[in-house]
Chain A
Amino acid sequence: AQSVTQLDSHVSVSEGTPVLLRCNYSSSYSPSLFWYVQHPNKGLQLLLKYTSAATLVKGINGFEAEFKKSETSFHLTKPSAHMSDAAEYFCVVSHSSGTYKYIFGTGTRLKVLA
């Protein structure tokens, strides 16, 4: 069975400071892992994905995430937060066998303070 846990439902940071959004996963298979961002009343935009290549994955808008198998983690980071980063972030696990069914985390709402 697969699952994903986002450890923080809300994260607040000041503009210009680092962002850390935590995600732990559980998977019986070699997982694919994704981070998506959702702005209010909008669909989901892919930030980055891990699919068994390099463990440090760089995404759009300065975000990156590191796949750590020993810790079953895939935390999302950004060196310097921007006001436009305020949104909901979802960590997602999938596996390549079967139906590509995505399992979503519960989401982390990022607030960026001026």
Chain B
Amino acid sequence: GAVVSQHPSWVICKSGTSVKIECRSLDFQATTMFWYRQFPKQSLMLMATSNEGSKATYEQGVEKDKFLINHASLTLSTLTVTSAHPEDSSFYICSARDSSGRDTGELFFGEGSRLTVL
């Protein structure tokens, strides 16, 4: 089945540093990927839609300069949290849509990345 890999699973960083999270589709191509943020015991909140070869589309209220998204290839999207602060601590999850002829409308989710900013 379709697999989405996220790395790292856990990251702890100091306030003011930047952290990059990778999302890879392992056995399919994905022109569109999505980044979500999940606070403890809450639902997933869509942050942005990542489009291969073009700028990401951010949801209202999400700072694009804070959360940099790059989708440079058909299998990789990255989320960089710049100048991280403790309030950025969260669980970040990516998902990808199979852009080949096998697309069923289903999104495939990564395992998530837990970011803790000290």
Interface residues of A (CB under 8 A from B): 32, 34, 36, 41-46, 49, 51, 90, 94, 96, 99-102, 104-107, 109
Q: Please report the C-alpha to C-alpha distance between residue A30 and residue B8 in the assembled complex, in whole angstroms.
A: 37
> A42's closest neighbor in chain B, by CB?
B111
When the two chains form their complex, are residues B49 and A104 in contact, meaning their CB atoms are under 8 A apart? no
Q: Please report the C-alpha to C-alpha distance between residue A100 and residue B109 in the assembled complex, in whole angstroms.
A: 14
When the two chains form their complex, are residues B110 and A107 in contact, meaning their CB atoms are under 8 A apart? no
Q: Please report the C-alpha to C-alpha distance between residue A105 and residue B32 in the assembled complex, in whole angstroms.
A: 22
Instruction: Spot the interface stretch: B14-22, B40-48, B79-87.
Output: B40-48
Which positions 17-61 of chain B face chain A at CB distance < 8 Å?
32, 34, 41-46, 49, 57
Bitwise, B74-118 to A at CB < 8 A (1) or not (0) is 000000000000000001010101000000111101111010000
> A49's closest neighbor in chain B, by CB?
B106
A-B contact number at CB 8 A: 55
Interface residues of B (CB under 8 A from A): 4, 6, 32, 34, 41-46, 49, 57, 91, 93, 95, 97, 104-107, 109-112, 114
Known contacts: A41-B91, A41-B112, A43-B6. The answer to whether A102 contacts B43 by CB under 8 A is no
Within the complex, which residue of A43, A51, A106 is in contact with B93, where a contact is CB–CB below 8 Å?
A: A43
When the two chains form their complex, are residues B109 and A43 in contact, meaning their CB atoms are under 8 A apart? yes
When the two chains form their complex, are residues B112 and A106 in contact, meaning their CB atoms are under 8 A apart? no
| Complex A-B: 17 CB contacts under 8 Å | A34-B106, A36-B109, A41-B112, A42-B111, A42-B112, A43-B6, A43-B109, A49-B104, A51-B105, A94-B107, A99-B49, A101-B46, A102-B46, A104-B46, A106-B42, A107-B43, A109-B41
